[in-house]
């Protein structure tokens, strides 16, 4: 048995309305704690649970698809529409105003005796981190494509993120009602861009009338090749009534089914053996075919592809069926993470999100991978090496949260009382458990690489934009600081720092829209009046030459002398956003370094990371470096703080004496424009240091692909709209950092940042 892993469980009988202020992690609201005589346990069989993420490029139809799922599951009386601003999962004012998803929304519902926990993730590139931490706690994903566009820029990003977690997936070709929809084009882009093998398991049905039901024009249904049935969706009841027709005698579709069976058998030996044994593809049953498809999906050998039009109420119920039939339950993916496996039966849980409630304080969303969590239990935060005590454990139900006595492996629950726990932290029962797990892990890797028994998965991306923020009056300063602390804890991709030269508070984020949303939330949600400075690009610094330095760092604290002698070497290291620290090599270093303890290594790493947060040129973070520890002597009784400070001081001296340069962010740009304006757009791009990759044709429009410096694209949406007379759209995503080569460009950056 497995504890029910619901994130936001929806209560109510079929057809009940669903209007909740508490549907989403990250929403700042007043939460109602349900009154009850008996605390809940609520466990369900693992085989009847599916934890899925919905992911796609912006405007591919994720939220519309989710609304239809809730409608057909009986949770809402009418499906909301993005353009009406009344969807369940997009309830923030900022989302409804823009018609996009900003924060991951989580809903739970029942479908054919199973519980589906679904996360509708953002599709805009500025909110990639939301997608990343959502995918960390699901077991599989549904990738939605616009059938008229195929694989788009953000589709590639979220697909790579899902691949990082080895998530089984199905693909849903949405918007099949559009005249420009093309299954063949989609399958080709899936193969060429996603680098996976698509297996189409459905065919579209086009007709104006079918079986006497109201259908409308264009696509009216689908053919399920596995079951050999034609499904027609009655639009008089929003597709909730399905006319099922048997097509087992249709020779053309029989041939297509046989081709499907043969293709699946290329990736599944069990199915191939049955075909050889029976000497027939037609003898493969529906159950055998679906079981093979599930094995193929879980192994990622290929990906099942389904079709439909969520807005036109076509194909959503079969998509839900595919979640049950082709995607795994939690226990089918057990033991794939070696850190989780090392915990055995001991508690291993992962904090993936935090929200702040006015009465309950910080609430931590946690997935339990191993062991049991009990109310009032003391937890050890492995990531931050500190202990905290749980106040209460809750399960969310619509706009209520209900207290439970305990939670077991597989559950995702809400915990109160953890004031020092943040996104990405690993929690266990005690320091001794953490130490025992660490010893197991160290057998496979060195002690410097494996320093803590923590789960991987949520790396915070580097910000690409920043701006200053100031309260409208001094009386608002405390309120601003408190609001920013709350926002940063809810959204770790928001960076808040103090400029030591000016004393200003500086916000760094993932894009213009990201910081715009933050400012909007400060004003409307936290009621803080503030002024934002000019939006600027977040450059980085790096060294081009190695430098070695040995220092003697001495300080006197409370009449006691503290002393550290340390030698570090800073070297250039390509494509390294976080510092790589290694032990020096050579016989002359071996004897000294063999005495270095794990604790000292951690303190040195903390000092190194502190020094690299602010480079010597303009205090931008330093990346693409490797640090070698060559020598260490620590006087008896020297405090941890002094050792950290010594490491930081040594790194700063190395950087000040080496050849440090600026790095600027480049983005991958995809522009779709009417062919009459292609030349004008390209002429403008050439003035922006644009590097052209290709110009393709799609549905009569030109698609321009290439890279450009982010600094050249500030306010580009307005510029493109003007050049193309409103007939151009674009998307961009971070690509890489590149050295600023010329002195003129360096001086330009310095002038932009300093203002003179």
Do 207 and 135 sit in the same domain of this protein?
yes
Q: What is the three-state SS of 196-228?
A: CCEEECEEEEECCCECCECCCCCEEEEEECCCC
pLDDT confidence band for 525 (50 / 70 / 90): confident
651: nearest Cα among 616, 597, 610, 608: 608
Q: Are residues 502 and 612 in the same domain?
A: no
Average pLDDT over residues 489-505: 82
How do 303-307 and 198-200 pair as beta strands?
parallel
- The 3 state secondary structure assigned to 661-673 is EEEEEEEEEEEEE
Distance between CA atoms of residues 339 and 453, nearest Å? 7
pLDDT level of residue 34 (50, 70, 90 thresholds): low
Q: Across residues 352-365, what is the average pLDDT?
A: 83
The answer to whether position 526 is within a domain reads yes
Q: What are 374's two structure tokens? A: 């009990």
Query: For the residues 186-213, what does the mean pLDDT come to?
Result: 84
User: Considering just the CA atoms, what is the radius of gyration of the chain in Å?
Assistant: 28
Q: How far apart are CA 127 and CA 158, in angstroms?
A: 11
Question: The tokens of 589 are what?
Answer: 């270093």
Burial class for 243, CB neighbours closer than 10 Å (0-12, 13-18, 19+) = middle
As a whole-number percent, the residues of the chain with pLDDT over 90 amount to 41
Query: Do 466 and 508 touch, CB atoms closer than 8 A?
Result: yes
Residue 631 shares a structural domain with residue 707: no
Per-residue pLDDT band at 362 (split at 50, 70, 90): confident
At 447 the pLDDT is: 46
Residue 103 pLDDT class (50, 70, 90 cuts): low
pLDDT at 21: 30
Domain membership flag for residue 457: no
pLDDT at residue 94, as a whole number: 42
pLDDT at 572: 93
* Residue of 490, 469, 491, 495 whose CA lies nearest to 480: 469
Q: Where are the beta strands (DSSP E) in 255-302?
A: none
Q: Are residues 177 and 221 in the same domain?
A: yes
Pairing relationship of beta strands 560-572 and 580-583 according to DSSP bridges? unpaired
Domain match, 59 and 156 both: yes
Confidence grade of residue 733 (pLDDT, cut at 50, 70, 90): confident
Backbone angles phi, psi at 150, to 5 degrees: 70, -150
Neighbour-count burial of 269, counting CB atoms closer than 10 A to its CB (0-12 exposed, 13-18 middle, 19+ buried): exposed
Pairwise CA distance, residues 316 & 305, whole Å: 13
CA–CA gap between residue 309 and residue 320 (Å, rounded): 14
Looking at the 3D structure of the chain, how many domains does it have? 4
My answer on whether 610 and 545 are in the same domain is yes
Query: Residue 15 pLDDT more than 70?
Result: no
pLDDT grade, residue 723 (50/70/90)? very high
Confidence band (pLDDT; 50, 70, 90) for 106?
low
474 and 516 housed in the same domain: yes
CA distance 47 to 115: 10
Q: In this structure, are 654 and 691 located in the same domain?
A: no
Q: What is the CATH number of the domain that holds 494?
A: 3.30.70.870
Supply the pLDDT for residue 452.
57
Q: What is the mean pLDDT of residues 685-701?
A: 88
Residue 34 is assigned to a structural domain of this protein: no
pLDDT at 216 over 50: no
Mean pLDDT throughout 618-643? Answer: 92
Residues 638 and 670 in one domain: no
Structural domain that includes position 61? 45-333
Choosing from 615, 636, 658, the residue where a domain stops is: 658
Residues 622, 629: Cα–Cα separation, whole Å: 18
Quote helix, strand, coil % in the chain, to nearest 5.
Answer: 30, 30, 35
CATH classification of the domain holding 718: 3.30.70.240
| pLDDT tens digits along 58-98 | 788 888 898 899 899 887 777 655 544 444 444 444 434 44
Stretch 358-383: mean pLDDT, rounded?
88
Angle 42-46-47 from CA coordinates, rounded to 5°: 130
> 668: closest CA among 154, 18, 238?
154
Looking at the structure, do residues 470 and 545 belong to the same domain, yes or no?
no
Residue 57 sits in a domain of what CATH number?
Answer: 3.40.50.300
Task: Say yes or no: 242 and 135 in one domain.
Answer: yes
Q: How far apart are CA 376 and CA 163, in angstroms?
A: 37
378: confidence class by pLDDT, cuts 50, 70, 90: very high
Query: Which position has the higher pLDDT, 74 or 417?
Result: 417
User: Residue 228: pLDDT above 90?
Assistant: yes
Between 43-52, 62-71, 297-306, the lowest mean confidence (pLDDT) is in 43-52
Report yes or no on 379 lying in a domain.
Answer: no
Q: Quick one: 160 exposed, middle or buried, by C-beta within 10 A (0-12, 13-18, 19+)?
A: exposed
Q: Would you say residue 293 lies in a domain?
A: yes
Out of 518, 538, 558, a domain closes at: 538
- Is 398 within a domain? no
For 454-471, how does the pLDDT look when each residue is reduced to its tens digit (9 = 90+)? 776 566 777 888 888 999
Angle between helices 316-326 and 62-72 (to 10 degrees): 90
Tokens of 621: 């973070």
Please indicate, yes or no, if residue 488 is contained in any of the structural domains. Answer: yes
DSSP 8-state class, residue 622: B
The angle subtended at Cα 324 by Cα 320 and Cα 328, nearest 5°, is 130
Segment 493-522 mean pLDDT: 83
Beta bridge partners of 200: 305
Q: Which two tokens stand for residue 505?
A: 């508070």
The conformation of residue 38, written as its DSSP 8-state character, comes to: S
Within-domain flag for 389: no
Alpha carbon distance 228, 655 (integer Å): 68
Distance from C-alpha of 429 to C-alpha of 422, rounded to nearest angstrom: 17
Q: How far apart are CA 631 and CA 592, in angstroms?
A: 6
pTM of the model: 0.71
The reply to whether 600 and 745 lie within a common domain is: no
Mean pLDDT (the chain, rounded): 82
At residue 9, the pLDDT reads 31
Q: Among 494, 515, 538, give the residue marking a domain's end.
A: 538
Helix (H, G, I), strand (E, B) or coil at 524: helix
Share of the chain above pLDDT 70, in %: 84
Contact criterion met (CB below 8 Å) for 536 and 467? yes
d(CA 139, CA 155): 19
Please compute the mean of the pLDDT values over residues 291-300 and round it to a whole number: 96
């Amino acid at each position: 048995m497995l504890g029910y892993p619901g994130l936001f469980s929806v209560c109510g009988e079929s057809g009940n309305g669903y209007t909740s202020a508490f549907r989403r992690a990250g929403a700042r609201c007043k939460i109602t704690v349900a009154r009850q005589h008996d605390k809940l346990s609520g466990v369900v069989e693992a085989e009847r649970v599916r934890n899925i993420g919905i992911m796609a490029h912006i405007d591919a139809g994720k939220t519309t698809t989710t609304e239809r799922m809730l409608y057909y599951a009986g949770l809402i009386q009418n499906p909301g529409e993005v353009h009406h601003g009344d969807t369940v999962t997009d309830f923030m004012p900022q989302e409804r105003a823009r018609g996009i998803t900003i924060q991951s929304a989580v809903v739970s519902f029942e479908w054919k005796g199973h519980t589906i926990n679904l996360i509708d993730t953002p599709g805009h590139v500025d909110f990639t981190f939301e997608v990343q931490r959502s995918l960390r706690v699901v077991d599989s994903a549904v990738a939605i494509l616009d059938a008229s566009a195929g694989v788009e820029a953000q589709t590639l990003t979220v697909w790579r993120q899902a691949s990082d977690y080895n998530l089984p997936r199905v693909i849903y070709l949405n918007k099949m009602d559009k005249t420009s929809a093309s299954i063949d084009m989609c399958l080709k882009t899936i193969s060429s861009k996603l680098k996976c093998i698509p297996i189409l398991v459905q065919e579209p049905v086009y007709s104006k009338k079918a079986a006497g039901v109201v259908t409308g024009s264009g696509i009216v249904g689908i053919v399920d090749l596995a079951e050999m049935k034609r499904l027609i969706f009655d639009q008089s009841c929003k597709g909730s009534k399905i006319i099922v027709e048997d097509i087992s005698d249709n020779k053309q579709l029989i041939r297509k089914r046989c081709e499907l069976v043969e293709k699946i058998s290329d990736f599944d030996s069990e199915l191939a053996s049955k075909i050889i044994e029976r000497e027939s593809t037609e003898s493969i049953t529906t159950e055998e075919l679906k079981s093979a498809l599930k094995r193929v999906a879980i192994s990622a050998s290929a990906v099942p592809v389904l079709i439909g039009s969520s807005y036109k109420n076509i194909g959503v119920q079969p998509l839900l069926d595919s979640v049950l039939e082709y995607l795994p339950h939690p226990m089918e993916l057990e033991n794939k993470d070696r850190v989780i496996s090392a915990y055995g039966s001991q508690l291993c849980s992962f904090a993936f999100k935090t929200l702040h409630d006015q009465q309950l304080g910080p609430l931590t969303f946690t997935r339990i991978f191993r062991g049991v969590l009990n109310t009032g239990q003391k937890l050890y935060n492995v990531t931050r090496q500190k202990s905290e005590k749980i106040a209460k454990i809750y399960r969310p139900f619509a706009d209520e949260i209900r207290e439970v006595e305990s939670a077991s492996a597989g559950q995702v629950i809400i915990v109160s009382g953890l004031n020092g726990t943040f996104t990405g932290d690993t929690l266990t029962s005690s320091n001794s458990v953490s130490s025992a797990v660490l010893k197991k892990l160290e057998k496979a890797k060195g002690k410097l690489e494996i320093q803590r028994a923590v789960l991987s998965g949520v790396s915070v991306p580097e910000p690409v934009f920043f701006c200053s923020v100031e309260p409208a009056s001094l009386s608002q300063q405390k309120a601003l600081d408190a609001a920013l602390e709350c926002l940063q804890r809810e959204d770790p991709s928001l960076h808040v720092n103090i400029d030591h030269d000016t004393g200003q508070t500086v916000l760094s984020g993932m894009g213009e829209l990201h910081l715009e949303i933050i400012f909007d939330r400060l004003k409307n949600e936290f009621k803080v009046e503030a002024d934002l400075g000019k939006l600027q690009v977040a450059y980085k610094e790096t060294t081009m030459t190695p430098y070695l330095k040995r220092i003697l760092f001495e300080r006197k604290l409370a009449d006691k002398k503290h002393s550290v002698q340390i030698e570090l070497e800073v070297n250039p290291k390509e494509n390294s956003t976080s510092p790589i620290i290694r032990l020096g090599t050579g016989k002359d270093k071996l004897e000294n370094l063999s005495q270095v303890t794990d604790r000292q290594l951690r303190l040195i790493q903390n000092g190194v990371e502190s020094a690299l947060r602010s480079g010597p040129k303009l205090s931008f973070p330093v990346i693409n470096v490797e640090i070698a520890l060559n020598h260490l002597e620590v006087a008896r009784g020297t405090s941890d703080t002094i050792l950290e400070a010594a490491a930081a001081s040594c790194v700063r001296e190395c950087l000040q004496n080496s050849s440090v340069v600026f790095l600027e962010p480049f983005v991958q740009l995809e522009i779709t424009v009417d062919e009459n304006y292609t030349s004008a757009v390209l002429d403008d791009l050439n003035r922006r240091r644009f590097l052209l990759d290709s110009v393709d044709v799609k549905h009569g429009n030109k698609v321009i692909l290439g890279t450009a410096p982010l600094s050249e694209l500030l306010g580009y949406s307005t510029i493109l709209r003007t050049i193309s007379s409103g007939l151009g759209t674009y998307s961009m995503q971070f690509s890489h950092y590149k050295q600023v080569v010329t002195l003129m460009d360096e001086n330009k950056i310095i002038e932009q940042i300093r203002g003179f």
